[in-house]
Amino acid sequence: MIIKGYILSVAYVLLCLLAALITYKLGMPKKYSRKLVHILVGAEWIILSHYMGNSYHFLVVCIFFLILLFVSHLKNLMPMISSEDDNAPGTVYYALSMSIMALICMFVPDMMLPFGIGVFCTSVGDGFAGVVGQFIKKYNPKIYKNKSLFGFFANFILSSLTAFVFSLVFTVDLKFWQCLMIGLFASGLELITPFGLDNVSITLGTSFLSYLFIYYQVIDFYAIPIVFTPLIIVAVVEKKVLTRSALLLALLLDAVISLIFGNFGLVMLMAFLFGSVAVDKIKKRRKFEDTVTKKGECRDSVQVIANGLIPMFMALLYSGTMNFAFVVGYIASLAEAFADTAASGVGIISNNVIDIFKMKKTKPGLSGGVSLTGTLASFVGAALISLIPFAFGMHSFKIYAIIVVSAFLGVIFDSFLGSVLQVKYKCVVCDELTEREVHCKKLTKKHCGFEFFDNDVVNLLSSAFSAVLAMCVFILI
């Protein structure tokens, strides 16, 4: 049985290489002949798992081909499977990932079937993603570096279907939505993995995710954070939403909140993040020249703290007390942050902005200013983001109303702090009020407010105000 496994496994790989060589000699570009091997060789897992199981013989075969392919890469012995980029030997990484998983299966036998899912997601999903991305050039935009939109969807669809078909054939306990999550995770890993290491990351990543889905039901609670985090990273980096330090800090906040609130926690964060990006795009399309606010569209680490510290604090308090009031506070703090972003982003394009606490007209974008469009946008923003908890089992209109009103009042409180306490400067050149310390290429002079009391402090206090207000009303009512 073992000897037969050795013979069949070696023979099958040699047949795959022969098929690639023939097509290469017939004029097929090597990027396609290489993908042919990439797709076909996944079936090697079926032979090895059937004849060798989780024994060391499986590992021996994988290491044999790892060495063979590595030498071939160094000596260019098999040009039909060599990479366009000599620094990214994909076939070598493929064999490396199988060797790693074969070693793991020797100590964790239950990993064998998830290992199979990982192999086929890599061979079929990732393999065809490359083919689709290279074959379809027209109307196929690059979404991240050299990765195409159609290639991403091909990877997602085929990896999902592969996982689903595998679960049916091998009687694996996977639900269809879990197969979709596996496919999305595979396509996300393919996007973010550098240096051609996606053959390793997809195989290992989808194998472990499949293992968790099959044997640990609790992982369903964390499926969205696990799967969507790679995609969030891609979106944030590609669109330059956050600075690098802000991204690292945001990932830390995401990890803490997701660990406590699971899928619900991350969906709320995603709604705030991408909703804020959408608001910025609206402002940008109106071609508004902002000469007032201190910071641009790319948010820094201080802004992440200002908007994310209170939600994280609410999550930590909930984990320690299991008091639902802190969940209400969590939702309200994020609802206020998004409502304020909507008010600022939409209100800044209004021509009729008034500082209601000083009863005078003010420049659009200056903290403390209130406009009708901005006020309506803040209420709509709070109402929309506060609907998300209904998808996760919250069915109380009373709680919804408390959160929306608290978030809206938090925006009013934000305007009060911005008008009365936030620092403002006056330009020595054009005499314009601004939040910037440099204007018209000259240092500005302080006009009013406290120097330490900038927009980030205002946002932090407003978020806390809404959270505390919502919790108090929830407890009292």
Higher pLDDT, 188 or 441: 188
Residue % of the chain over a pLDDT of 90:
53
Per residue in 81-103, pLDDT (tens digit) is 776 554 457 788 989 999 999 99
Instruction: With a cut of 70, say whether residue 417 has pLDDT above it.
Output: yes
Average pLDDT, the chain: 87
Average pLDDT over residues 40-46: 93
Higher pLDDT, 304 or 366: 304
pLDDT reported for residue 289: 55
Confidence category of residue 444, pLDDT binned at 50, 70, 90: confident
Confidence category of residue 76, pLDDT binned at 50, 70, 90: confident
Q: Which of 43-47, 67-71, 85-89 has the lowest mean pLDDT?
A: 85-89
Q: Which of 19-28, 79-88, 438-447, 457-466 has the lowest mean pLDDT?
A: 79-88
pLDDT reported for residue 86: 47
Those residues whose C-beta lies under 8 Å from the C-beta of residue 114, and which sit 6 or more positions away, are 206, 207, 208, 210, 211, 214
pLDDT reported for residue 84: 58
Please report, as a single letter, which amino acid is at residue 406: S
Q: Which of 28-37, 179-188, 219-228, 298-307 has the lowest mean pLDDT?
A: 28-37
pLDDT reported for residue 151: 86
Confidence category of residue 67, pLDDT binned at 50, 70, 90: very high
Instruction: With a cut of 60, say whether residue 205 has pLDDT above it.
Output: yes
Higher pLDDT, 446 or 279: 279
pLDDT reported for residue 299: 83
Q: Which of 98-107, 239-248, 269-278, 355-364 has the lowest mean pLDDT?
A: 355-364
Confidence category of residue 473, pLDDT binned at 50, 70, 90: very high
Confidence category of residue 360, pLDDT binned at 50, 70, 90: confident
Interior/surface letters 248-257, b for 16+ CB within 10 angstroms, e for the rest = ebbbebbebb
297 CB-contact burial (10 Å; exposed 0-12 / middle 13-18 / buried 19+) = middle
pLDDT reported for residue 58: 95
Instruction: With a cut of 50, say whether residue 344 has pLDDT above it.
Output: yes
Higher pLDDT, 150 or 58: 58
Residues in the chain: 477
pLDDT reported for residue 411: 95
- Whole-number Cα distances in Å, 228 to 187, 192, 267, 382, 417: 10, 12, 9, 24, 36
Contact of 225 with 188, CB cutoff 8 Å = no
Confidence category of residue 362, pLDDT binned at 50, 70, 90: confident
Task: Specify which residues 360 forms β-bridges with.
Answer: 355
Confidence category of residue 249, pLDDT binned at 50, 70, 90: very high
The full set of domain ranges for the chain reads 2-234, 241-476
Higher pLDDT, 248 or 426: 248
Contact of 43 with 12, CB cutoff 8 Å = yes
CA separation for the pair 50, 42 (Å, rounded): 14
CA separation for the pair 191, 338 (Å, rounded): 28
- Whole-number Cα distances in Å, 240 to 77, 233, 272: 42, 10, 16
